[in-house]
Structure 1
Amino acid sequence: MSSPTSARRLRIGVDVGGTNTDGVVLDPSRSSESDRGIVAWHKAATTANPSAGITNAITTMFASASPKISPEDVASVTIGTTHFVNAVVERDASRLSKVAVIRLSGPFSKHAPPCVDWPEDMRGIVMGYYALVKGGLEVDGELISDIDEDEIVAQCHEVKKRGITSVVVNGVFSPIDTVERQEERAAEIIRREIPGCDVVCSKEVANLGFLERENAAILNASILPFARRTIRSFQKPVRELGINCPVFITQNDGTVLSGEMAAKFPIKTFSSGPTNSMRGAAFLLQGQGKNVQKEDQAMMVVDIGGTTTDVGLLLPNGFPRQQAAYSDLAGVRMNFSCPDIKSIGLGGGSIIRKGAPMSIGPESVGYKLTKDAYIFGGNTLTTTDCAVLLDPSLGIGNTDLVKGQLTEEEGAHFKSIVQQKLEKIVDTMKTSPEDIPVVLVGGGAIISPDRLKGASMVLKPQWSQVANAIGAAIARVSAVVDTIRSTETRTTQQLLDEISKEVMEKTVEAGGSRDSVKVVEVETLPLQYVANMTRFIVRAAGDFDFSRTIVPEVAPELELELEEQDTLPKSGSATAQRDQEPAVDIATYKPDVRNRVWYITETDLGWISSGCYILGTGGGGSPYPHMILLRELMRAGAVVRVVSPADVADDAAVGCGGGAGSPTVSIEKLQGDEMMDAQRELYKICDDRATHMIALEIGGGNGLQGLTLGASANMDLPCVDGDWMGRAYPTKWQTTPVVFNERQPIWSPICIADGNGNVVVMPKASSDRQVERIMRAALSQMGSQVAAAEPPVTGAEMKRWVVDNTISQAWRIGRAVARSRQENRLENVGETTIKECGGSSAGKVLFKGKIVGVERTLRMGHVYGECIVEGTDVGGHDGASEFVGRIKIPFKNENIAAIRIRESDHDEVEDKQALEKQEDVLAIVPDLICVIDAQNGEAIGTPEYRYGLLVIVVGIAASDKWTGSQRGIEIGGPKAFGFGHLEYEPLGQFVKPVSVIDEFDRAQT
């Protein structure tokens, strides 16, 4: 047990990198002094056995400190490491194990196998085997099916045959499974059948989002054996030095894990190195004695280590900018909170290959720098060698040993390549072309020039070389609960109070001091089309409770293993990540259009998907899982064709199909065969056979369904370049065929299927509103997600009703986003989007700012809410924003309006109705109000709205199919959403989207 803490005041931070081990002893009580409370610091080459390196760092700091440090003075030792993330970035097969995946998914997810969206080389190293078996839950906790023990046992035999000892279990909606415990039960069977294997339950690694959670669990499982050895090598020296205090490992959000938990969940430490460096940089800049960072100005932190350079944006609040809904590591998409970091294979140990052309990295000598580099007597040319050769005053190693290794021309070329690499990664992270301060930290910062294009200044604060160790030393402890609960018998506030107590208790269990733990983040997300169900995400954080932590022991039988095994990467790993293939040249790319038929490529699909989500106006669900499904069909040889509405014969039969349900369900219960099931069942009662397909709505995931159904692997029909909405709407009766009212009802007969063997066919209905009501009632009993098949209309009808060329419009918007990213001009992505939609007369950027408030309620299956955006400069640089004040964006699944908040809105107003009539409406339905993430240019859906996101709000004029008649405005305008007190005023003049087919048809050129 730990001793009383009255004398304990010092915190030790150690960062064990692939090249250097850094340490710092910090006295928090003296942090306001000029030396920032730094009692001692240390930097040395990482040893083959990290245990020896940590021992050396701590003993050296103890010896150098004045006054002398006693082990009894130390309150905590916190260690950060890049070992695990480097194993992934470098594709090091010696540190990554093959993984088997057992999905408890029943009939779902079959078209998107594990690692489906991984880079090919990474998938080849990690993915060993997978199987889909019975299991999984619906969103309300009902069973899709129970697990079958015999089925799991049979799959265990297959796993054993392949010699795989790391297994991931991933069940549909497993994070909310507190009763059936399907993942846990399956894990028990696997451990029994494969003794000694590592089993990772996905629910313990990440939250809702089936593919992303699975990806995180697979990476975690792959790194486990290496992680155990490494963590134990961290714990051992602390015990041997007589330091009787807890040992923590830093995780991605700047807080810590116990050593035991870090050994089970090493993935939670993957981005901790950059986070520690950024937090350390913020801590050091506070002690500069001068204001290097202007108010409300972000700074770029460039952390140059031995193997990689990690770049992130440090916000004015001293914390790194976070990625939005998803994170990306080495091309693998995951769904837990991570700093928005970009990494490249450039560091102090990067290997130089001379020749034409000269190459630098991504391979690195890593921790063997002091052995392999020329300046230390080795025979491998590294970036540190070159930096010392060009500037002997650095005082590193023996300069004489590297003389003659570079000609003057090669030296200039080296400097140019390093500078270009750094400038490119900095520019990639910027959301504006404006110059901003750049802070250099890390031991490899010596290779950086003092000036960088795009940097208003380049700063290197005192102790910057150990910023990562400082960040580790000042870290806190936290916990999060992400769950779905029923509000049928308890209020949202009652549940929130209960969950807050639960997460605070988890934080205390993780080592937090009960008196200091507080809830720091709360999000409530009522689920569409799911009765009385709300998703809660609650995070708490606090200081350590040093008085009660048990110091972990290292098992004696493992000490020999630690001494014998090299836990660090092999230098010059043959599996190191190579430079990626050149990106598509957006300026010269031309889609494949032949004889007025557009053949969709993967590039087209990516841009269309991006554009669909923006046109979804906050709703429609993310197209990502649907894009992955269609991409897999295309990679298997399926052909996807698009034709112009004008080219469809009048007597053609244009079919339609799409999904209905909750976006939360769509990211968890991945599509099976329900789309085709619904079509097959429909045509058993429908005489007209479709000759073409069309999307129900271009907005969101349904924007891709016409393409998917029409693919040659499915119905083998061309898809019409258009849809029935020109956006996304929450109901089927809000479609242009209903607006024209030439047939009543238009959506009958109709068929819906849930993919789990349940099909509902409605041969006739009294109205399209009744179709909607009946379908929604069935939907709630069918897992809150179904596929619907609608009867064909004639080609002539289609041409009167269709919103033309919306696939082309989505493609152009997606291309504009890609171009903005490529040119590092994301602050102008709103303007470029408007340009693709017809220019300033057809739309405008309504607002730029930060989300500062979100409210959500559930009524009649739809999520109603309001998002508050405060004007700010989204570019992250100094300068006044033209967008001041606040706006509110009410939504009903989709965004309804953008309304400027008057100052009087904050005061008590007796006549609310009179105030509402005075509201300053910037845009309102049926015009499109789209919210775009200022950090990456992609759409943000209403379920993803959360505090702190930087956004650009864009307004686009609605199609004249909506605005050309009073009926269209009544069905799709303010009145339909309960805003009858507001009149529709057109945002601009609708401009028909330019057809890709018309522009690029080879027959014309």
Structure 2
Amino acid sequence: MAVKQVFRVGVDVGGTNTDCVILNPEEADKPQRGIRSAFKTPTTPDVTYGIAKAIEGAISGCTDVSRGSISAVMIGTTHFINAIVQADADSLRKVAVFRICGPYTKENPAFLDFPPILARIMNGHVAYLDGGLEFDMREIMPLDEDQVRAECKKVIAKGITDIAVCGVFSPLDIEGRHEARVRKIILEEMPDADVVLSRDIGQLGFLERENATILNTSILKFARHTIRGFKRAMSALGLSCPLFLTQNDGTIIAADAAENTPIKTFNSGPTNSMSGAGYLAGLDTASGQLPNAQVIVADVGGTTCDVCALLPSGFPRQAGTWVDIGGVRCAFPMPEVQSIALGGGTKVEKHSDGKVYVGPESVGHRLLQEGLVFGGSTLTTTDIVVASGNEKIGDVSRVADVPEDVVHDARLRIKQLLENAIDSMKLSADDCICVMVGGGSIIQMDDLKGVGQIIRPQFHDCANAVGAAIARVSGQIDIVKVLEGLDEDKVIEEVCAEARQRAIDAGADPANVKITEIENLPLQYVQMRASRLVVKAAGPLSAKSLLTSDPLWTHNPGHAVNSTHPQETPPKIAKSTNATKDLRDFIGSPSAHINIATYRPEVDHNGTWWVSEIDCEFLATGSSILACGGGGPGYMCYMAARAALQKGHRMPVVDIASLPDDTWVLGNISYGAPTVTLERTPSGTEGIDATDALLTMFPGVTMGAQIALEIGGMNAIRPLLTGIHYNVPTVDADFMGRAYPRLYIKTPCLYDVPAFPATQADGNGNVVTVNKATSIRKVEKIHRKAGAELGLFSQLVIPPMSIATARRVGCLGTMSLAWYIGRAVYQAKQEKTDIMKAVVQANPGGKVLYTGKIVNVHRYVSSGGYTEGAVRLKPIGSDEREYGDELDGAETRDLHFPFQNEYLFAELIDPETPNSALNASDRDTKKRMPDAGNVVAMVPDLISLVGTDGYALGTQDLRYGVRVSVVSFVANPHWYTERGVATGGPREFGYDMEFKPLGPAYYEPKRVMEEFRPAQ
């Protein structure tokens, strides 16, 4: 009789221990939640041995489980990310980066936003290659094969064999025209090289995709050895069932595929731990619901502690548009996890200055050899636990002589590290419930400030392995669809159905497959309306499907799985070889090192504000909120500004009142599509080329200052960068008070201030000037058409203006306003107060309208070439609410936002209203008129969608499932005039309705220069 294959083996390979559980999903309703056996063993240098011992131990502990009854093995690991977090030079390799970019991206060089220590370890070589693609797949420049071969020779001379290739717009390069060709050339010159293409790692968003590709490349050989060790372990045990690795988003991937993209499994350990903790705590059962309080999971291993907010559904809170991996910004769908270098094997040292340091180094897997209580010579946090009398582990006598002050100070530091990590995930300062899991959780010895209750569920020390065993199966579709003449909703549903079917074909339970991600990326300025659709579905693994599943590799007892590597050396376990103790070497955020409440920006006696890196951070965040969904992604300008400051440049900002009336001021603005600005990042010469060209038409003008043409997004910081080149200050003002999508929707045009000649430049040597036109709207049309030819991203400069005129027609104090809003966000995060309330307090002319989750994003390109669409929010459901959410009398209606680069209005709608009734799906579709009584905010007032991290989402960042709050501000009085409403109100965007003011009076921004100017 055939043996029923029902059991799942979940394995977690940590830096210190390897855990294994055997679980029967058909017994999830029983007290032990289907867990038949659990086993823990120290992680060993020989991964094959460690895996085999863990699985063998779990099987031996369960007499009714045979090898033939095991349907699948799922392995999750923090192994790879440990090397990143610890900056382990033994496991990370030098990487050569080949950017296929032409003249672009150079304002943000590779490794720019890496923590200093990782940049030193990984940065082996950076090559800027001719080539790259425009948004419509035209070549920026032809690929130069000789140039690629010349760079290969440089890389060979440096002894580097790991190469990351990142081309502009490569994710849309279905034919493999550039990245694939470059890989082919590299392998001709370097047959033994490992070449990773960015299109295989991530989607649009050049900097984040490149960062992820670099990390994947640096860890590739270490990961490959590790995964092959997993296979050898299964072979040695006689298991022939499928082998999976868990991915960052909680789904599983075949082991062979994971060898090439290990970064997709980087954060699977924390993900598994969070879902495993929720499962063990019974949060998916009616009887297991926890009280109405915020719930935080802390998973303490041997090397790291991973902290995440857990929803009552048992799943972790998702991150926003990007995530932090070892201090590096990457774009991945994964939970919002804070990782710190604290675990059971973390080293404790007293230095000559008398201070006791805990970490960041760890003995990791060698705890049983190096820890004092185990006969070693290294003092670890586990030794501190034993010395404190909280546990009897190993030889207690070996820590009897540890000085009391060392024990006391180390214990206090452990407590502080845990409190800070938990606080980083909380949304309020109120006490939370902490679900403490992981084998290293014994280091939590004291009550934690801000934690009202600590729960350690059964099998808490193997929550990662439990999460691996219950991981889901996914299916993904990435396809370009022509939508002309079709019902877009129907097309998307068909693609969703195909994604669901792929998940089912991969082994997911048909009854429980859900869509987890929808990306709708219109292809702009194409003859036929078309869109790239990326849809992902996931569901729990079906036991039935595994009965007929073929193994993912062939079982051959006694032999290595990969016969081409019979003598393969076992991988080393990540361990820190770094001697530095300066956390600034590991953390890139300037404001992380200060007390924000007491921070004072540098303002001199003349009232000049000298912008610092901290100020840039505040400005970037504040301007993202004032951008109202537009303004382009500000991160790249923020990092470029930081790089300039680090090189010694100075960035002065002055109040407009301090400049003589006859001073000439100029400004430049990013001109193009948000999707392009995320991908074809600037060269840094665009604005300078346009300004120089325009000034030739005004021979009597000498520039005295720069000004932001809009305060939203990247355009808020751009004048600071341009001002460096011309050695002029930036005026604390702009010409929109927000962001708008058209050249003529700016305050000078409300007063007939000349708007041409106007010049735009693309950074590739192309400059276009409209010297004369019949109207400003005609100038807009001409520049838009030219902008498409220039690749949908350029910098545009309008004519010089006197300070006297700028003072009369500008929106004053907006640089300061952005700074105050940004500071409020970071201070609220640091002090654990409500971020949205802090934002409104920083700009009292506003209100929080709604908190919800994005459930639909619709995009299309209008007949005018603008990216239009709508986003729909639903209220936070009962299983998704977190502590602090309003439960009584909460809004039950959905919120609908049409946008045209920026959000146009916010409308409450019946939750039963179909998307097809709301969204235009054709360029010529007449826009639906909303019920005016349900509109809660509209242009020209400001509307912004802000993520849980306090950073606003641009329309290019919108994606399914992200939690946001909606905030609205009263517009500058210029926009409340009759002409202002006509120019920037709803009718300008095709909605024939009367403007409905937000309500409060306009808030006149206070000035940074006034508040912080030294007393005379």
TM-score, scaled relative to structure 1: 0.92
In structure 2, do the counterparts of structure 1 residues 145 and 512 end up closer, same or farther at CA, with 3 Å as the change threshold?
Answer: farther
TM-aligned CA distance change 1:153 to 1:918, over 3 Å? closer
**Deviation readout 1:252-297 (Å, 9 max, x if unpaired):** 0111122222221111111100111111112212289884534876
1:344-493 to structure 2, matched below 5 A, reads: 344-354=340-350, 356-391=354-389, 394-407=391-404, 410-449=406-445, 451-481=447-477, 487=483, 492=488
Q: Determine the structure 1 residue equivalent to 2:1010.
A: 998
The residue aligned with 1:584 is 594
Cα distance change on mapping 1:657 and 1:444 into 2, 3 Å: same
For 1:829, the aligned partner's letter is I
C-alpha deviation, 1:619, in angstroms: 1.3
1:106-149 residue CA offsets vs partner (Å, 9 max, x unmatched):
11011211111111111000000011011111111111122111
Cα displacement (A) at 1:571: 6.6
Change over 3 Å in CA distance of 1:295–1:538 after alignment to 2: farther
Which sits farther off after the overlay, 120-129 or 770-779?
770-779
User: In 2, Cα distance between the equivalents of 1:333 and 1:53?
Assistant: 32
Please report how far the alpha carbon of residue 210 of structure 1 lies from its aligned counterpart in structure 2 after TM superposition: 0.6
- Which has the higher mean CA deviation after the structures are superposed, 882-891 or 644-653? 882-891
Aligned amino acid, residue 15 of structure 2: G
Stretch of structure 1 that moved more, 699-708 or 340-349: 699-708
Aligned residue number for residue 978 of structure 2: 966
Distance change in 2, residues 1:529/1:624 (3 Å) = farther
- Cα pair 2:282 2:289 within 8 Å, conserved: no
The range that moved more, 912-921 or 884-893, is 912-921
2:703 match: secondary structure: coil
Counterparts in 2 of 1:433-832, with a 5 A limit?
Answer: 433-449=429-445, 451-481=447-477, 487=483, 492=488, 496=492, 500=496, 503=499, 519-526=515-522, 532-542=529-539, 543=541, 545-546=545-546, 547-552=549-554, 554-556=561-563, 558-562=565-569, 565=570, 567-570=572-575, 574=579, 578=583, 583-594=593-604, 595-672=606-683, 673-687=685-699, 688-711=701-724, 714-741=725-752, 743=753, 746-825=754-833, 828-832=834-838
Mapped contact 2:515–2:536 kept (Cα < 8 A):
yes
Match of residue 932 from structure 1: 946
Name 1:175's counterpart in structure 2: 171
Question: Deviations along 1:950-992, whole A, 9 cap, x unmatched?
Answer: 22222211111221x2111211223223333233324211122
Distance 1:414 1:908, change over 3 A: closer
Counterparts of 1:697 and 1:488 in 2: how far apart (Å)? 35
Q: Report the secondary structure of 1:561's partner residue.
A: coil
Q: Does the Cα contact within 8 Å between 1:304 and 1:445 map onto a contact in 2?
A: yes
Q: Which range moved further: 382-391 or 151-160?
A: 382-391
Structure 1 residues 327-338: aligned runs within 5 Å = 327-338=323-334
Uncovered stretches (5+) of structure 1, i.e. residues with no partner: none
Q: For the residues of structure 2 that align with 1:948 and 1:761, how far apart are their CA atoms?
A: 43
Structure 2 Cα separation of the partners of residues 914 and 670 of structure 1: 35
Residue 21 of structure 1: how far off its partner (Å): 0.8
Cα shift at 1:936: 0.7
Shift of 1:464: 1.0
Alpha-carbon distance between aligned partners in 1 of 2:256 and 2:927, rounded to the nearest angstrom: 59
Of 857-866 and 667-676, deviating more is 857-866
Matched, 1:833 2:839: yes
Q: What SS is found at the alignment partner of 2:869?
A: strand
Q: What's the CA shift string for 1:683-725, capped at 9, x where partnerless?
A: 23333343222111111211222222111xx222222110110
Q: Cα 1:133–1:507, aligned 2, differ >3 Å: closer, same or farther?
A: farther
- Structure 1 Cα separation of the partners of residues 171 and 758 of structure 2: 34
Does the Cα contact within 8 Å between 1:529 and 1:776 map onto a contact in 2?
no
Q: Secondary structure at the match of 2:568?
A: helix
- The aligned counterpart of 1:854 is 857
Does the aligned pair in 2 maintain the 1:312–1:342 contact within 8 Å? yes
Deviates more, 1:814-823 or 1:639-648: 639-648
Give unpaired runs (5+ residues) of structure 2: 555-559, 919-925
- Provide the rounded CA distance (Å) in 1 between the counterparts of 2:595 and 2:512: 53
Determine if contact 1:34/1:287 at 8 Å carries over to the other structure: no
Q: Distance in 2 between matches of 1:657 and 1:968?
A: 22
CA distance, structure 2, for counterparts of residue 243 and residue 875 of structure 1: 42
* SS of equivalent residue, structure 2 residue 667: strand
Q: Secondary structure at the match of 1:558?
A: coil
2: distance between equivalents of 1:520 and 1:222?
29
Aligned partner (choices 119, 125, 128) of residue 121 of structure 2: 125
- When the two structures are aligned, how many residues end up with a matched partner? 983
Report the residue type matching 2:32 in the other structure. D
Give the superposition deviation at 1:726: 0.4
The 1:640/1:880 distance shift into structure 2, 3 A limit, reads same
Change (3 A) 1:488 1:684: farther
Tell me whether 643-652 or 858-867 shows the greater mean CA deviation: 858-867
Whether the 8 Å CA contact 1:657–1:675 is kept in 2: the answer is yes
How far apart in 1 are the matches of 2:197 and 2:307? 32
CA distance in 1: counterparts of 2:566 and 2:651, whole angstroms: 59
Counterpart of 1:284?
280
Q: Are 1:108 and 1:669, in contact at CA under 8 Å, matched by a contact in 2?
A: yes
| CA 617–489 in structure 1, closer or farther in 2 if over 3 Å, else same | same
Aligned mate of 1:45, from 42, 45, 55:
42
- CA gap 1:883/1:616 in 2 versus in 1, 3 angstroms: farther
Counterpart residue type for residue 456 of structure 1? G
Give the partner amino acid of 1:203: R
- Residue in 2 that maps onto 1:141: 137
- Structure 2 Cα separation of the partners of residues 244 and 115 of structure 1: 42
Matching residue's letter, 1:384: T
1: distance between equivalents of 2:142 and 2:507? Answer: 36
**TM-score when normalising by structure 2:** 0.91
The answer to whether the Cα contact below 8 Å between 1:885 and 1:901 also exists between their aligned partners in 2 is: no
Which whole-Å CA distance do the structure 2 matches of 1:140 and 1:295 have between them?
Answer: 53
Kindly indicate whether the alpha-carbon contact (under 8 Å) linking 2:136 and 2:524 is maintained by their aligned counterparts in 1.
Answer: no
1:36–1:287 Cα contact (<8 Å) kept: no
Aligned ranges 1:863-942 → 2 under 5 Å: 863-872=867-876, 875-877=882-884, 880=887, 883-886=890-893, 887-901=895-909, 916=930, 919-933=933-947, 935-942=948-955
- Secondary structure, in 3 states, of the residue corresponding to 2:413? helix
Would you say the 8 A contact 2:518–2:536 is kept in 1? yes
Q: 1:517 to 1:969 in 2, by over 3 A?
A: closer
Name which of structure 1's ranges 269-278 and 754-763 shifts more when overlaid on structure 2. 754-763
Question: Which residue in the other structure is 1:843 paired with?
Answer: 846
> Cα 1:674–1:498, aligned 2, differ >3 Å: closer, same or farther?
farther
Give the secondary-structure state (helix, strand or coil) at the position aligned to 1:691. strand
CA distance change for structure 1 residues 836 and 519 in 2, over 3 Å: closer, same or farther? closer
Deviation at 1:440, TM superposition (A): 0.8
State which drifts further: 274-283 or 160-169.
274-283
- With over 3 angstroms needed to count, the CA separation of the structure-2 counterparts of 1:41 and 1:183, relative to structure 1, is same
> Shift in Å at residue 10 of structure 1?
1.1
**In structure 1, what residue type is equivalent to 2:650?**
V
Contact 2:415 2:446 in 1 (8 A): no
Stretch moving more, 46-55 or 477-486: 477-486
